[in-house]
Amino acid sequence: MEKKTGILTVVSGFSGSGKGTIMKQLLEKYPDNYALSISATTRSPRPGETDGKEYFFRSTEAFEEMIKNDELLEYACYVNNYYGTPKAYVQEQLENGKDVILEIEIQGALKIKEKYPDTVLLFVTPPSFEELERRLTGRGTESEAVIRDRLCRAAEECDGVEAYDYLIVNYELDSCVEQVHSILQNEHTKIKRKESFLLEIKAALAAYSKGE
């Protein structure tokens, strides 16, 4: 029987796009299909975050040791902190047939695509600039300078998006979850992902035609 290999999938998007919630729902709905990679970072945990759940929180020295030992699939510096994807877990899950989702920013995503061209890149956005502004403004408690800063960051967050494969416009959570699920299910049927299956069936047919 054909051995299923998982698809490496990268999800990026504006802060406030809802990408984290979409991925959380996708994993809850289809736990047998997907695994979420947990990144390592040198930033401090926010209230409510725990080591090994949202991130592996590491010192700069420990992170640099991981880089030196080639333990990361990619890493990037974002707002003065290191963020990186530990290699071992991703490889293990892909071999087990799960599609592994990395929720990372664009620099890291593009490095992954260069190294592993079969990666699927998804970018999540709110429906419009006005909606993004509304979501980043939050409850109206932030100063104008903070809001401006967030919107300028959003401009950087989409720099390079043309290299992505799919744009997910977040009008409504449930339909986004289904959209991501169907994109990935369709990806599995692409000819380039079926090479070993095709080789096997072609070899069997060739042997049959030769009367073996």
Binding residues vs ligand 5GP (CB under 6 A): 39, 43, 74, 76, 78, 83-85, 103-105, 107-108
Q: b vs e for 175-210, b when ≥16 Cβ sit within 10 Å of the residue's Cβ? A: ebbebbbebbeebeeeeeeeeeeeeeeeeeeeeeee
Strand 55-57 with 99-103, pairing? unpaired
- Rounded to a whole number of angstroms, the minimum distance from the CB of residue 42 to ligand 5GP is 10
User: How far out from the chain centre does Cα 205 lie?
Assistant: 39
Report H helices in the chain.
Answer: 19-29, 60-68, 87-95, 106-115, 129-137, 144-157, 173-188, 195-209
Nearest residue (CB) to ligand 5GP, 6 versus 84:
84
DSSP three-state, residue 31: coil
Report the nearest approach of ligand 5GP to the CB of residue 10 (Å): 9
Taking the least distance from each CB to ligand 5GP, the nearer of 62 and 198 is: 62
Tell me the β-bridge partners of 75: 84
Closest approach of ligand 5GP to the CB of residue 180, in Å = 16
- Contacts of residue 16, Cβ cutoff 8 Å, sequence gap at least 6: 126, 132, 135, 136, 150, 154
Which of 74, 69, 96 is closest to 84 using CA atoms?
Answer: 74
Least distance from ligand 5GP to the Cβ atom of residue 156, Å = 10
Residue whose beta carbon is closest to ligand 5GP: 108
Q: What is the dihedral of CA 207, 210, 211, 212, to 10 degrees?
A: -40
In the bound state with ligand 5GP, the residue whose beta carbon lies nearer, of 25 and 75, is: 75
Least distance (Å) between residue 186 CB and ligand 5GP? 25
Choose between 86 and 97: whose C-beta lies nearer to ligand 5GP: 86
Please identify, using beta-carbon distances, which residue of 83 and 123 lies nearer to ligand 5GP.
Answer: 83
Residue number, 43 or 188, with CB nearest to ligand 5GP = 43
Closest distance of CB 170 from ligand 5GP, Å: 15
